Amino acid sequence: KWTKYEKPILTRSDSLSGIGHNSIFFDKTGHLKIVFHAHYDKTTVHPRKMYIGDVKFTSGSDGVDVMSVGDTLIIPKLKK
């Protein structure tokens, strides 16, 4: 059974705002990753930037596994 966690994984952070839609996938080496978008910066929404991060699981104090995003984020560059 799936239960919505009280604390969303993707929320406002000190460095990112407007964090939204995401997708989770396995990279070529089998590591679980998350891709999501956020506002361009603290004062500008568009163009939004895309970020890719590692997915981590830890046991919460209530015994439920909690998913989090790693500290290092990749910002893909568009090819011109």
Please list the pLDDT of the chain residue by residue as tens digits (80 residues): 777 767 666 666 778 888 878 899 999 999 999 999 999 998 999 999 999 999 988 887 877 777 788 888 888 887 76
Neighbours of 36 (CB within 10 A): 21
DSSP 30-74: S-EEEEEEE-SSSS--SS-EEEEEEEEEEE-TTS-EEEEEEEEEE
Residue with tokens 């407007």: 18
